Structures are given as C-alpha cells and as structure tokens.
Amino acid sequence: MTQYDYIVIGAGSAGCVVANRLTQDSKTTVLLLEAGNPDTKPEIQIPSECINLPGTEVDWGYFSEPEPYLNNRKMFCPRGKVLGGCSSINFLLYARGNHHDYDHWQELGNPGWSYLDVLPYFKKSENQQRGASEYHSVDGELSVTDVISPAVASQRFVDACVAMGYNHNPDFNGMQQEGAGPYQFTIKDGKRHSAAAAFLVPILKRPNLTTITGALVTRLLFEGTCTVGVEYLHDNQLHQARINSEVILSAGAFNSPKLLMLSGIGDAKHLQALGISVVVDLPGVGQNLQDHVCVFLPYQATQDLQPAINGTGISETGLFLHSEGNLDAAPDLQFFFGPILWAPPGYAGSGPGFIGTVSLTHPQNIGSVSLRSPDAKDAPILRMNYLQSQSDVQKLVAGIKLMRKLFDTSAFDEFRGEEVAPGADVTSDEALVAYIRETCSTMFHPVGTCKMGIDPMAVVDPELRVYGVEGLRVVDASIMPTLTTGNTNAPTIMIGEKAADLIKAADRVSQQALSAIAN
C-alpha cells in the first residue's frame, strides 16, 4: 500500500493549486487523484468552443431532480470531469466577486476571510495582462487577459449602460465592482488557461507529485475519527493509499459532500437509511446548496457582429448593479453581453445576432445534495430549488425589462433586429414570469454544501478542517458560506491558495511539536 504526506481528491480549480503549492517543498509527497481523464480534448483549448463542452465526456453530466418552481424541469448541472475540473469546461470569465462577499464571510464567524485577507491570495495566482497594481499582480501562474479586438457591439453595450446613467467601470476586479465594462478571461496565447494548464501541467514532472487520472475515490478511510487514507477505483480495480498528514477533498460542490456521506460523515439518519456506518453525525453536509440562475434575451442582428478573436462569444462586456439602489451591499444583478446568437430551447434563431443574459448574484434558493445509494458510481440527488423565492423572480423580470431598455437605446440602432425570445409581444409581468420559469438556466456556479462556519450546520471550520475528524479538509467552492457576486472560478482558485498556506502552517506547528517532544 502506497503512503503519501497528502492526498488531494480532485484536480479541479482548487485541487490543482493545492497540489502545486504543497509540492513546492521537495520533501513533501502528494498524491493527486482525478476521476476524469487528461485535458487532451482539443475543444478544451479553444475559448469559443466552451459552449459545446458541457454534456461531453469531460462533464459529469449531472441533472437535478424535477424542479418544483420551474415547471418540474430537470436542470442540467454540468461539472468538469477532467484535469482542471470546471476550469477546463467553463466560460473562462475571471470575476473575483465583491468586497462585501468576503467581509460577510468573516462576519459569519470566519476570521481571516475578509476581503483584505483574501486579496493577497487573488493576487498570488494572477498574471494580469494590464500590469501590477494595488489590486493586481503579474507574478502568478494564471493568465488573466482582455479579449483581442472585441466586437463593436460589445462596446456599444457599455455605451448604452453609460447613457442610462450607470458608471463606466474598466475593472470589475478592482476598487469597485458596480458599473459597466469589459470582462477579463483566463486565456493565454489565445488558448484556455485552466487551473490544470496554469498550476498542474508545469509541475507534472516533480518527483514528489503523483497524479492519477481515471481514479474514482469511493470512500475515505478512518481509524476511529482519524483520517488515514482513501480507497479509489482505477482500471476496474480497487486501490488504497495512506497519508502521513492529511486528505484534502477538492471534488466540488456536488461530489465533495457526496464523498463525505459515502464515508460516513453527514446526517446520521440519511446515512443509516442507506446502511452506511456513521463516523460523524454532521447534518450540514450536502445542505446550503446555492447557485446563480440566469435568463436569456437573444436578438437577431442586422449585420455580422464579429466576436472577439480570442473570446468566448457568450460574454465580452457586462454590468453589475443594485436593482434597489442599495450601495451598502453587493450588486444583486449581473448582466452579460455577447455578440453571437444563442436561443434557449423552444426558440429558433439563425444568422448573426447578440444575446443579453441577466443573472441573480445572490438568489434566495437553497438546495441540497444527498446520496442516491451507497454506490460511489451513482450520481447524487440534486435539489436546487431555483426560483423558490418570488423576489428572485421579480428581480429577473426587472432585469429583462432593463436589458430591453439597453438594447432599445440609440447605441444599438445599427445592429438591432427582432427579439428572438421571449419576443417583443411578451410584455406583461405574468408572461415574462412564465418565460423565466420555462427557460431559465443555471450559471454552473454551485457552492456551499460543505460550508465554512461556526454554527451547527457548518461542515468545516475557518481553517477548512472537517468537524469531528482529524486529518481531513475540504478545499473547493463547497466551503463558501454564501455565493460570491459573480462567476465562481476565481474565488475557488483563491480558496486553494489560502488553504495551501493554512495546511503548510499546520504542518510547521506539527513539526515544531514533534521536535519539542524529541528534545
């Protein structure tokens, strides 16, 4: 049986960072286990192909249970199953979130997670095309860039926002988030710069790092409440690996709670009903599931809009705003503009076009992840509860109306064709609500299912250690107590950076204690 100092489960946005940082010490051995395959699928590297990756072999292909507030639709919930995880299949947008997000985390009982605490970790990862500043760095591994030659129509979206009284904001990740401006992306030399490309591929030859793909972890191994290793399926054979220090669970907001429950950590009644022996009764595991939800407003265009050379086409510019004017809180609506035509199912559109997307940044829907069976190969049960709150629905209605006003400004006169969906004749609130419930989508940003905190439903403490056991941390988006304001990949990478420092600090304390005993 093999033995390592650390085992990292999941080579996604956080796992790749942790594996990189821990193996910087040549004496530290790390086993990195990824259920998916290497990121060799050619489409992964092409930014504009991002829309075609969900549902392929590099995606877990999860669906929710029938959603009671969405006409009982089963929502498609993509998750990356490949080196790089979701950073290899996402829409590449780099958004850190709002200062208020992290200050709120600290207020919830998580010291060390305020905005000023986490900013150095965002900067640590970043190689910012625009140069170094108070908010940015050029010393990190992750390439953060502007799109090359953005479409004229994308700039017109910003012009329209400014004409309607919103601030021009050239940097959503700087001093403030509110306003309209260009998005930045994790792209390098015209190719996707995933967490795998940035943090893992350059270090694969480190002798103290062992990376195994196609390895499905089936359970964590315990002696009492002490974590001692993992069991995993590889090439149809079960293997075990042991640790000297810790297991780091970085399998994401769906699979991290799933693996904890499979291993006996979770709500005791749920586990016992499935015949799983309880190691720790931790009722918060799989609860507090949050995700951004969005709705689309596509238009025909009167001419070819020529998306950016290295962009995704889905979003080149955007807008963050407070729908109720509350400037003492994070924005509650995020808008995206893309110079391509994409229509939701049931609506036909062809030729040139553009699309506006309205997303709720802090929806009130709270869902859950639970086990379907004790078999690790079975998908978990996902209950998202999208749009269970009437106020969320009302904000999306307001967002559609605002987007229509933006597209009706003179900035779009030379581009604007027919509204493809829901259609210009759909104007009443009731009809817009029906459209939203029929077509809204996830933004693919699930978080919160192993939340960090000090309350009875918390799963990990502020140092990301799982309550009730030793030698086990969760390091991924599942530890977020609340959603960040915007896309979640950059915050997940930040979590990996901060966690690596927490792990190293704990190891130093342990070594000092051993040294004191020896002396």
Is it the case that residue 511 has pLDDT exceeding 80? Answer: no
Scanning the structure block, which residue is given the tokens 């399998």?
A: 251
User: Averaged over 401-417, what is the pLDDT?
Assistant: 97
Q: How large is the average pLDDT for residues 8-33?
A: 98
- Token look-up 């407070």 returns 322
How confident is residue 512, by pLDDT bands cut at 50, 70 and 90? Answer: confident
* Residue 243 DSSP code: E
Compute the mean pLDDT over every residue in the chain, rounded to the nearest whole number. Answer: 96
Backbone conformation region of residue 286, classed left if phi is above 0, alpha if psi is from -120 to 50, else beta: left
pLDDT score at 140: 98
* pLDDT at residue 197 is higher than 70: yes
* Nearest Cα residue to 450 out of 385, 497, 486, 499: 499
Judged against a pLDDT cut of 80, whether residue 325 lies above it is answered with no
Please classify residue 327 by burial: count the beta carbons closer than 10 Å to its beta carbon, then call 0-12 exposed, 13-18 middle and 19+ buried. exposed
Residue range 200-238, pLDDT digits in tens: 999 999 999 999 999 999 999 999 999 999 999 999 999
The domain locations on the chain are 1-69+76-145+192-289+369-384+446-519, 148-182+293-360+388-439
Closest CA to 5 of 186, 205, 245: 245
Q: Distance between alpha carbon 129 and the CA centroid of its chain, in Å?
A: 22
CA dist., res. 355 & res. 339, Å (int): 7
424: pLDDT strictly greater than 70: yes
pTM: 0.97
CB atoms within 10 A of CB 514: 10
Name the band, by pLDDT with cuts 50, 70 and 90, for residue 509: confident
Q: Can you give the pLDDT at residue 329? A: 83
Q: Which residue type, as a one-letter code, is found at position 342?
A: W
- The pLDDT of residue 439 is 97
Residue 71: pLDDT band with limits 50, 70, 90: very high
Going from the C-alpha of 462 to that of each of 110, 223, 246, 509, the distances in angstroms are 5, 24, 16, 17
Burial of 345 (0-12, 13-18, 19+ CB in 10 A): exposed
Q: Average pLDDT of 91-109?
A: 98
pLDDT band at 54 (very low <50, low <70, confident <90, very high): very high
pLDDT of 517 strictly over 80? no
Residue 508: predicted pLDDT: 85
- The count of other CB atoms within 10 Å of the CB of residue 355 is 24
User: What pLDDT is stored for residue 327 in this prediction?
Assistant: 66
Length of the chain: 519
> For 248-306, what is each residue's pLDDT tens digit?
999 999 999 999 999 999 999 999 999 999 999 999 999 999 999 999 999 999 999 98
Could you give the percent of the chain with pLDDT greater than 90? 92
Helix (H) / strand (E) element for 464: namely none
pLDDT tens string 278-292: 999 999 999 999 999
SS3 sequence of 186-229:
CEECCEECCHHHHHHHHHCCCCCEEEEECEEEEEEEEECCEEEE
Whether 33 has a pLDDT exceeding 80, the answer reads yes
Q: Choose which CATH entry (2.60.40.3500, 3.40.50.360, 3.40.50.1580, 3.50.50.60) describes domain 1-69+76-145+192-289+369-384+446-519.
A: 3.50.50.60
Over 90: is that where the pLDDT of 17 sits?
yes
Is 168 known to be catalytic? no
pLDDT at 309: 76
What is the gyration radius of the CA atoms in the chain, in angstroms? 23
Catalytic residue among 100, 292, 362, 445: 445
The CATH code of domain 148-182+293-360+388-439 reads: 3.30.410.40
Distance CA 392, CA 290 (A): 13
Share of the chain above pLDDT 70, in %: 98
Distance CA 470, CA 514 (A): 17
Cα 461 to the center of its chain, rounded Å: 20
| Residue 323 pLDDT greater than 70, yes or no | yes
pLDDT single digits (tens) 127-185:
999 999 999 999 999 999 999 889 999 999 999 999 999 999 999 999 999 999 999 99
What six digits make up the tokens of 37?
Answer: 């395959």
163 is written with which tokens? 């004409």
Q: How far apart are CA 374 and CA 356, in angstroms?
A: 42
- Per-residue pLDDT tens over the stretch 77-86: 999 999 999 9
Binned at pLDDT 50, 70 and 90, residue 519 comes out as low
